[in-house]
């Protein structure tokens, strides 16, 4: 029997964005958080190096510099009004986290510690500036724990292990969601005035990925199946330093602390690609450099990886070469103990998964699928846009990686994802509650859970003998090879053909599990269907964009083309077809310039 | 290499009690036990059920008993195990829902019972509250907890009656009791001085052995005990 619930605000997802939204919405509105995981399992917890805010605790810094760096990092595709809003809000947002109890690492005088990160610079000298506010190398873990703790303190209502499979709309207005309770397999209708999607990213599309198994883009797919577009889906970030073959993230903070990338000749090759900031260039720039080095035969032993060297000898050698100094002007020198204290989890990952001790040996790394710049299009208040003209869907909100504000444009800077979730989580929560206070519940259609039941029954009744793992592997492999760091028309066409083939083949996957209790088999198949749709949307969006910008690097169109492509992609998925439209980028202060690091 | 996975299976809709099933598969020495479980689910039996998410020891979803000890399945490599016969069972002391999935609610209830959040009603300053590196170091170890339940479900005192608040909840208490910014240490110590509180701990050290985050759990419990005994937090 379907169960029925009613709340003013329903939040889907309990990572950083969802929990921040919950803390704010629940102040004035009855609020429920639905999450397919226990909240503390959310992917926010895996973020490592820091959250960006121009506190200036170590060196001079300004929100304006943060704004410019983010605009430049986005390869001028980010909307400048939204970026300015985020970077101005950053300082207060980080202090709010500290006031909630977040255990930041500290400076000698007791303030929040900060470290340099890729693309964050002193706008006068062009040199890296310490802007990432950190808690060792587990900043995301601390944010997730702190927000969840505050939710407990404020008695937020949670429905843990409830997976949302449909968005209810009535006459173009958001009316609630349908979820399956994983424990019982029962469907639940959540009737709501406001719905906030905060479901994270979809990096499981690619073979080598830093993303959790559960990062399957549920929110975007559910929204798209109800006619909502997805923005800038061709822009997906490949982080330069994933553990070779496994993809597990090694934070950019390693390079912030002075670690360097070396090729097979022992050369610090980023010197050639980004002469000013070197290893701390933007992620897209570094990932491309690694691919080019591999193509030139300078991967380690001719293979598809490089060394990330964070041994004190190497760090100190290159810090001296760069003339890097401490705030008091003394030369920057680190010891093995300091590396252990600042990067304990990285040391642990390297020892566990590589059998390598990073304070004495280099780590083998390769670019790994990491972050969706694209997603559900929103205003700075999380309001969801229905089209490229800015029409807002009443009662629907999105925040965090699942959304596209757009503040990251074509390439996100490190530390701006944690910033994104706390700033836009907050404003979507406030706005959703505000809207709910003046809105009525929409009258639901009969059998609101019908579409959900239909989707699940289709999987249970399928026939044709296809295997879900085979299909997943084929998708991941073709997407990693052809819709990855470098792209061509030919390769992407091949990927698109394959993805469309898989879209048909997945209809022939039958769930082996016929039970109701924790039927993860059924839900995994549903999730793979979601990933395949997003892979198609990504590829179609990427094929159409005939230029190179940020993370979208085309060998057949190697230059950025502002005349024709300084615009956002809006993609709709209707009747199994992807339709594209475009929206101009908002430029306020910063005219597009050539992007050099 | 060939390994044999021996997995505890229980389907509440068809089984009265659990049983073990064996699966033979090829494995790389560097495969995680989680990779093997995924392989079994993908190619041997889609009904096999377990929780997992991040797959690198940070989210805390996949705590299991692997060859008799509590571990995260994503943090144990085949080469770390001495035997090529690998037994995987649900963590103990919790109700098994299905296969390797247990009911985590009592565990989170214990966590929530110790006021696991900062209490400080003074108006905050415009910027951050200051805290010295030493004050931060005082509780940093216990901030690492990922609530996986490896510690609590390895504790004989917890097995003997799940009313015992358990190591993970004490770790959560410790994290705030020793935070210089917090004002509710006395209340938390009162909660933990309950009949089912810290003094159920008999210093067996299973929890410390089990912690995938290498938190010195027994030491943290000892510090809470001492704070209760002396009435002082230092």
Subunit contact A103:B47, Cβ cutoff 8 A: no
Q: Is residue A595, in this structure, part of any structural domain at all?
A: no
How far off is chain B from A462, nearest CA to CA, in Å?
Answer: 15
Residue A320, classed as helix, strand or coil, is: helix
- List, for residues B63-93, the tens digit of each pLDDT value: 999 999 999 999 999 999 989 999 999 999 9
Q: What is the largest CA-CA distance in chain B?
A: 62
* CB contact A95 to B (< 8 Å): yes
Subunit contact A349:B47, Cβ cutoff 8 A: no
Helix (H) or strand (E) holding A421: helix A416-437
* CB contact B137 to A (< 8 Å): no
Find the CATH number of the domain harbouring B21. Answer: 3.10.20.30
* CB contact A512 to B (< 8 Å): yes
Find the CATH number of the domain harbouring A342. Answer: 3.90.700.10
Same domain, A210 and A260: no
Same domain, A396 and A466: no
Query: What whole-number distance in Å separates Cα of residue A238 and Cα of residue A551?
Result: 7
Nearest-CB residue to B117 (from A95, A101, A106): A101
Same domain, A459 and A553: yes
Q: Is the pLDDT of residue B162 over 80?
A: no
* CB contact A115 to B (< 8 Å): no
Q: Residue A100: closest CA among chain B residues belongs to which residue?
A: B118
- List, for residues A180-199, the tens digit of each pLDDT value: 999 999 999 999 999 999 99
Tokens of A179: 């979820």
Percentage of the residues of chain A whose pLDDT score is greater than 90: 99
- List, for residues A368-414, the tens digit of each pLDDT value: 999 999 999 999 999 999 999 999 999 999 999 999 999 999 999 99
Find the CATH number of the domain harbouring A504. Answer: 1.20.58.100
Under a CB-based contact definition with an 8 Å cutoff, are residues A493 and A544 in contact? no
Same domain, A407 and A491: no
Q: Is residue A593, in this structure, part of any structural domain at all?
A: no
Same domain, B81 and B117: no
| Chain A neighbors of B174, CB-CB under 8 A | none
Interface test with A, best of B12, B34, B59 (most A CBs within 10 A): B59
Does the model's pTM come out above 0.90? yes
Q: Is the pLDDT of residue B106 over 80?
A: yes
Residue B56, classed as helix, strand or coil, is: coil
Q: Of B85, B102, B119, which one is at a domain's C-terminal end?
A: B102
Same domain, A195 and A301: no
Q: Is residue A553, in this structure, part of any structural domain at all?
A: yes
Find the CATH number of the domain harbouring A81. Answer: 3.50.50.60
Confidence of residue A363 (pLDDT cuts 50, 70, 90): very high
List b or e across B119-143, with b for residues whose CB sees 16 or more CB atoms inside 10 angstroms: beeeeeeebbbbbebebbebbbbbb
Same domain, B54 and B117: no
β-pairing verdict for A128-133 and A114-121: antiparallel
According to the model, what pLDDT value does residue B161 have?
A: 78
Same domain, B137 and B210: yes
According to the model, what pLDDT value does residue B74 have?
A: 98
Instruction: Quickly count: other Cβ atoms within 10 Å of residue B68's Cβ.
Output: 8
Same domain, B98 and B111: no
Instruction: Quickly count: other Cβ atoms within 10 Å of residue A508's Cβ.
Output: 13
Mean pLDDT for A523-538 is: 98
- List, for residues A255-298, the tens digit of each pLDDT value: 999 999 999 999 999 999 999 999 999 999 999 999 999 999 99
Domain count within chain A: 3
Q: Of B58, B80, B102, which one is at a domain's C-terminal end?
A: B102
Q: Of A368, A390, A420, which one is at a domain's C-terminal end?
A: A368
Residue A351 CB partners (closer than 8 Å, separation 6+): A357
Same domain, A419 and A385: yes
- List, for residues A211-233, the tens digit of each pLDDT value: 999 999 999 999 999 999 999 99
Looking at chain A from residue 464 to 493, which residues have their Cβ under 8 Å from any Cβ of chain B? 467-469
How far off is chain A from B92, nearest CA to CA, in Å?
Answer: 19
Residue ranges in B76-194 assigned as alpha helix (H) = 105-113, 133-140, 156-159, 167-177, 185-192
Same domain, B41 and B150: no
Under a CB-based contact definition with an 8 Å cutoff, are residues A579 and A572 in contact? yes
What is the average pLDDT value for chain B, to the nearest integer? 97
Confidence of residue A565 (pLDDT cuts 50, 70, 90): very high
Find the CATH number of the domain harbouring B150. Answer: 1.10.1060.10
Same domain, B166 and B182: yes
Cβ-based contacts under 8 A for chains A and B: 156
Confidence of residue B209 (pLDDT cuts 50, 70, 90): very high
Same domain, B20 and B110: no
β-pairing verdict for A306-309 and A363-372: antiparallel
What is the average pLDDT value for chain A, to the nearest integer? 97
* CB contact B143 to A (< 8 Å): yes
Same domain, B197 and B133: yes
Same domain, A393 and A407: yes
| Chain A neighbors of B108, CB-CB under 8 A | 38
Q: Of A385, A416, A437, which one is at a domain's C-terminal end?
A: A437
List b or e across B104-114, with b for residues whose CB sees 16 or more CB atoms inside 10 angstroms: bebbbebbebb
* CB contact A152 to B (< 8 Å): yes
Subunit contact A521:B30, Cβ cutoff 8 A: no
Subunit contact A45:B58, Cβ cutoff 8 A: yes
Under a CB-based contact definition with an 8 Å cutoff, are residues A530 and A471 in contact? no
Same domain, A14 and A129: yes
Looking at chain B from residue 214 to 233, which residues have their Cβ under 8 Å from any Cβ of chain A? 214
Nearest-CB residue to B46 (from A42, A100, A521): A521
According to the model, what pLDDT value does residue A7 have?
A: 98
Q: Is the pLDDT of residue A1 over 90?
A: no
Same domain, B123 and B224: yes
How far off is chain A from B70, nearest CA to CA, in Å?
Answer: 16
Mean pLDDT for A121-150 is: 97
Subunit contact B124:A516, Cβ cutoff 8 A: no
Percentage of the residues of chain B whose pLDDT score is greater than 90: 96
Looking at chain A from residue 21 to 60, which residues have their Cβ under 8 Å from any Cβ of chain B? 37-38, 40-43, 45-46, 55
Q: Is A283 a known active-site residue? A: yes
Same domain, A551 and A487: yes
According to the model, what pLDDT value does residue A327 have?
A: 87
Same domain, B96 and B52: yes
Nearest-CB residue to A142 (from B42, B45, B143): B143
Subunit contact B101:A112, Cβ cutoff 8 A: no
Instruction: Quote the domain boundaries for residue B148.
Output: 105-230
Q: Residue A469: closest CA among chain B residues belongs to which residue?
A: B42
Q: Residue B78: closest CA among chain A residues belongs to which residue?
A: A353
Subunit contact A101:B13, Cβ cutoff 8 A: no
Same domain, A543 and A411: no
Query: What whole-number distance in Å separates Cα of residue A257 and Cα of residue A316?
Result: 10
Judging by beta carbons within 10 Å of its beta carbon (0-12, 13-18, 19+), is residue A125 exposed, middle or buried? exposed
Q: Is residue A83, in this structure, part of any structural domain at all?
A: yes
Q: Of A368, A396, A423, which one is at a domain's C-terminal end?
A: A368
Nearest-CB residue to B147 (from A40, A110, A213): A40
Q: Residue B183: closest CA among chain A residues belongs to which residue?
A: A101
Looking at chain B from residue 74 to 93, which residues have their Cβ under 8 Å from any Cβ of chain A? 75, 77
According to the model, what pLDDT value does residue B234 have?
A: 78
Same domain, B174 and B73: no
Same domain, A38 and A147: yes
Subunit contact A348:B57, Cβ cutoff 8 A: yes
- List, for residues B29-53, the tens digit of each pLDDT value: 999 999 999 999 999 999 999 999 9
* CB contact A120 to B (< 8 Å): no
How far off is chain A from B200, nearest CA to CA, in Å?
Answer: 25
Same domain, B88 and B116: no
Nearest-CB residue to B42 (from A153, A468, A513): A468
Query: What whole-number distance in Å separates Cα of residue A292 and Cα of residue A88?
Result: 37
Domain count within chain B: 2
Instruction: Quote the domain boundaries for residue A45.
Output: 3-235+373-437
| Chain B neighbors of A146, CB-CB under 8 A | 118
Q: How far is CA A240 from CA A191, A306, A364, A494, in A?
A: 43, 10, 11, 25
Under a CB-based contact definition with an 8 Å cutoff, are residues B7 and B99 in contact? yes
Q: How far is CA A284 from CA A73, A234, A411, A524, B182, in A?
A: 9, 13, 7, 31, 42
* CB contact B212 to A (< 8 Å): no
Q: Of B71, B102, B133, which one is at a domain's C-terminal end?
A: B102
Same domain, A461 and A540: yes
How far off is chain B from A111, nearest CA to CA, in Å?
Answer: 6
Confidence of residue B126 (pLDDT cuts 50, 70, 90): very high
Query: What whole-number distance in Å separates Cα of residue A556 and Cα of residue A541?
Result: 16
ipTM of model: 0.98
Handedness of CA A470, A472, A478, A484 (dihedral sign): negative
Q: Residue B56: closest CA among chain A residues belongs to which residue?
A: A248
First to last CA, chain A: 59
């Amino acid at each position: 029997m379907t169960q029925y619930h009613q709340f003013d605000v329903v939040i889907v997802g309990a990572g950083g964005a969802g929990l921040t939204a919950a803390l704010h919405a629940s102040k004035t509105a009855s609020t429920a958080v639905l999450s397919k995981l226990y909240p503390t399992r959310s992917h926010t917890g895996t973020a490592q190096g820091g959250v960006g805010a121009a506190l200036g605790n170590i060196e001079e810094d300004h929100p304006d510099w943060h704004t410019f760096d983010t605009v430049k990092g986005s390869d001028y595709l980010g909307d400048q009004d939204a970026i300015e809003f985020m970077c101005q809000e950053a300082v207060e947002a980080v202090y709010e986290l500290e006031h909630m109890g977040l255990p930041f690492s500290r400076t000698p005088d007791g303030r929040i510690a900060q470290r340099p990160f890729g693309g964050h610079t002193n706008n006068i000298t062009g040199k890296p500036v310490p802007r990432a506010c950190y808690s060792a190398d587990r900043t995301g873990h601390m944010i997730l724990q702190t927000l969840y703790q505050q939710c407990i303190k404020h008695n937020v209502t949670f429905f843990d292990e409830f997976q949302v499979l449909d968005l209810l709309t009535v006459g173009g207005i958001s009316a609630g969601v349908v979820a399956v309770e994983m424990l019982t397999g029962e469907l639940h209708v959540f009737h709501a005035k406001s719905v906030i999607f905060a479901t994270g990213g979809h990096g499981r599309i690619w073979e080598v990925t830093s993303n959790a198994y559960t990062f399957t883009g549920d929110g975007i797919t559910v929204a798209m199946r109800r006619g909502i577009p997805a923005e800038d889906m061709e822009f997906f970030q490949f982080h330069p330093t994933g553990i070779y073959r496994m993809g597990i993230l090694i934070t950019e903070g390693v390079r912030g602390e002075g670690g360097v990338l070396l090729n097979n000749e022992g050369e610090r090759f980023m010197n050639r690609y980004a002469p000013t900031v070197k290893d701390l260039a933007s992620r897209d720039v570094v990932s491309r450099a690694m691919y080019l080095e591999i193509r030139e035969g300078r991967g380690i032993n001719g293979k598809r990886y490089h060394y990330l060297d964070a041994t004190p000898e190497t760090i100190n050698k290159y810090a001296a070469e760069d003339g890097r100094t401490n705030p008091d002007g003394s030369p920057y020198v680190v010891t093995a103990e300091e590396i252990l204290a600042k990067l304990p989890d990285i040391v642990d990952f390297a020892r566990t998964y590589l059998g390598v001790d990073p304070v004495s040996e280099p780590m083998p790394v390769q670019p790994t699928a990491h972050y969706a710049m694209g997603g559900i299009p929103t205003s700075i208040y999380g309001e969801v846009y229905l089209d490229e003209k800015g029409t807002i869907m009443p009662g629907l909100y999105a925040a965090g990686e699942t959304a596209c504000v757009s503040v990251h444009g074509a390439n996100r800077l490190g530390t701006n994802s944690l910033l994104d979730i706390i700033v836009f989580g907050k404003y979507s929560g406030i706005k959703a509650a505000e809207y709910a206070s003046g809105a009525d519940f929409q009258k639901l259609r009969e059998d609101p859970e019908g579409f959900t039941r239909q989707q699940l029954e289709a999987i249970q009744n399928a026939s044709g003998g296809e295997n879900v793992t085979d299909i997943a592997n084929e998708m991941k492999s073709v997407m990693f090879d052809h819709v990855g760091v470098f792209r061509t028309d030919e390769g992407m066409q091949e990927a698109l053909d394959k993805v469309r083939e898989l879209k048909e083949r997945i209809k022939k996957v039958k769930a082996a599990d016929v039970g109701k209790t924790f039927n993860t088999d059924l839900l995994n198949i549903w999730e793979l269907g979601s990933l395949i749709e997003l892979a198609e949307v990504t590829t179609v969006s990427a094929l159409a964009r005939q230029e190179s910008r940020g993370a979208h690097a085309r060998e057949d169109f190697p230059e950025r083309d502002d005349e024709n492509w300084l615009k956002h992609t809006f993609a709709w998925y209707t009747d199994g077809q992807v339709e594209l439209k475009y929206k101009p980028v908002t430029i306020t202060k910063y005219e597009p310039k050539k992007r050099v690091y | 290499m060939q390994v044999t996975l021996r997995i505890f299976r229980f389907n509440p809709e068809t089984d009265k009690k659990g049983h073990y099933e064996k699966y033979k598969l090829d494995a790389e020495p560097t495969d995680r036990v989680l990779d093997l479980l995924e392989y079994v689910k993908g190619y041997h039996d889609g009904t096999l059920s377990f929780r997992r998410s991040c797959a690198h020891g940070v989210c805390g979803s996949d705590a299991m008993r692997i060859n008799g000890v509590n571990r995260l399945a994503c943090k144990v490599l085949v080469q770390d195990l001495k035997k090529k016969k690998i037994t995987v069972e649900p963590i103990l002391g919790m109700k098994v829902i299905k296969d390797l999935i247990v009911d985590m609610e009592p565990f989170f209830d214990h966590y929530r019972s110790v006021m696991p959040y900062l209490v400080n009603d003074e108006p905050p300053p415009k910027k951050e509250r200051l805290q010295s590196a030493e004050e931060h170091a005082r509780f940093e170890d216990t901030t690492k907890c990922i609530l996986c339940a490896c510690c609590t479900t390895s504790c004989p005192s917890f097995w003997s009656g799940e009313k015992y608040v358990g190591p993970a909840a004490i770790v959560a208490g410790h994290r705030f009791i020793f935070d210089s910014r917090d004002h509710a240490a006395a209340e938390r110590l009162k909660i933990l001085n309950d009949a089912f509180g810290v003094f159920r701990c008999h210093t067996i050290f299973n929890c410390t052995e089990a912690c995938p985050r290498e938190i010195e759990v027994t030491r943290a419990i000892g510090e809470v005990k001492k704070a209760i005994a002396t009435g002082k937090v230092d």
